[in-house]
Amino acid sequence: MKSFFDYERPELAATLHPSFRATQLFKAVYQRRVENLDSITELSKGERAALASEWDIRLPALYRRFESVDGTRRYLLQLADGELAETVFIPEETRNTICISSQVGCALACTFCLTGQLGLTRNLTAGEMVTQVLFAQRDNLSEEQIDSFNIVLMGMGEPLHNYDNVMKAIRILHDKHGLNMSMSRMTLSTAGLLPAIQRLAAEPHIPNLAISLTGATNTKRNELMPINRKYPLEELLAAVRQFPLKHRQRVTFEYVLLKGVTDSLEDAQNLVKLLRGIRAKVNLIPLNEADELDYRRPSEMAIQRFQQVLIDNGIAAYVRKNRGNDISAACGQLKKMVV
Ligand code: SAH
């Protein structure tokens, strides 16, 4: 059986006769959310049976679900080969966020991130990313709210290390006869894979870009994010300066605040210098602490002081709220924890 969720509509159309069946199936599966191809009554019985024997539209099995006191939910979804994909649903008053993984584990080994300690097991397929979204959507949103969510590729893995599958998943999610997610509702977060950022810049459809920065000088960033030794800050920021932005669109920079390491006034000033001339928004993420990490979270005062330097220099800076910390669902905490 072939996984339906791995296919873009044009690919599907090329395998089906008549080809407009692809659009019918997309609407049935993504918009009407049928769980069984046999229930698509506009098709003949024979046709339904033939499709059902060829195409698998089952979502992955739920392995574990964890609920935070703040309403955040973390899912471990079991994939065909037994591996687990980790997904987080973050409810908010004005909009909900579905955070999906692009890989099992991660190869980048950032020193403050638990996923980085796992190493990379494998890339996820496009279908395995699409079904994370569908699972979280169907498990959390009622009929009236069914489309009120944004997607962030900020779960396990480095999306740009899995470029082709990630872009395919984005196109499937964007399809107007499918979930019809606009590009402005999807954000791809990267630790800074330079050639892939340049490739992304040339795509016809581009999601929002977020860059995980965390060090504002090469010396510091080399220590914290080994990828910086390959693609240093000046080259990374030069590529971001070239990145095409729509009217009023901005690049997001994620900056993890580590006590005594990245939280000084000098660090804040270095960050201001680095971002000069870029239409940027900064999300400050106070470290989510863990026993396995040697770093500490700064005090509230240090966090505010850092934020104020950015604001005083005309940079939009927000402190990311800590969500799902009690269920290991917060930034940098995803590591397939099953308890
Ligand atoms: N590999 C991509 C996608 C992961 S996004 C990237 O690096 O952008 C995960 C975000 O969580 C990154 O911005 C990372 O900097 C942040 N993060 C990692 N570990 C963290 C921790 N312990 N506390 C807070 N944020 C963390």
The predicted model scores a pTM of: 0.96
Average pLDDT over residues 92-106: 95
110 noted as active-site residue: no
- Judged by DSSP in three states, 256 sits in strand
Structure tokens at 153: 């590729």
Q: Quote the CA–CA distance of 315 and 290 in Å, as a whole number.
A: 30
Looking at residue 134, its pLDDT comes to: 98
Compute, in angstroms, the gap from residue 143 CA to the centroid of ligand 1: 32
- CA separation for the pair 249, 40 (Å, rounded): 40
User: What per-residue confidence (pLDDT) applies to 333?
Assistant: 81
Residue of 97, 98, 113, 322 best suited for mutating to test ligand 1, as the one with most atoms within 8 Å of CB: 113
Which letter, b or e, does each residue of 218-238 get, where b requires 16 or more Cβ atoms within 10 Å of its Cβ? eebbbebbbbbeebebeebbe
Residue 133 has a CB neighbour count (10 Å cut-off) of 24
pLDDT digits (tens, 9 = 90+) for 246-267: 999 999 999 999 999 999 999 9
Whole-number Å distance, alpha carbon 329 to ligand 1 midpoint, is 12
What residue ranges do the domains of the chain occupy?
2-56, 61-327
Distance CA 107, CA 103 (A): 9
Please tell me if the CB atom of residue 90 comes closer than 6 angstroms to any atom of ligand 1. no
Question: Is the predicted pLDDT of residue 339 greater than 70, yes or no?
Answer: no
Residue 321: the pLDDT is 87
Res. 325 pLDDT band, cuts 50 70 90? confident
Q: How confident is the model at residue 150, as a pLDDT?
A: 98
Q: Looking at residue 165, what is its pLDDT? A: 98
User: 149-188, pLDDT tens digit by residue?
Assistant: 999 999 999 999 999 999 999 999 999 999 999 999 999 9
Q: Looking at the predicted structure, is the pLDDT value of residue 338 above 80? A: no
Strand residues in the chain grouped as ranges (E): 2-3, 55-56, 61-67, 73-78, 84-90, 96-99, 103-105, 120-123, 149-153, 186-190, 208-212, 251-257, 280-286, 316-319
289 included as an active-site residue = no
Instruction: Say what the pLDDT of residue 154 is.
Output: 97
Under the banding of pLDDT at 50, 70 and 90, the label for residue 335 is confident
Q: Are 26 and 178 in contact (CB under 8 A)?
A: yes
Q: Please give the mean pLDDT across all residues of the chain.
A: 96
CATH of domain 61-327: 3.20.20.70
Res 22: pLDDT: 97
pLDDT surpassing 90 at residue 323 = no
Q: What separation, in Å, do the N-terminal and C-terminal C-alpha atoms of the chain show?
A: 33
- Residue 330: the pLDDT is 83
CATH of domain 2-56: 1.10.150.530
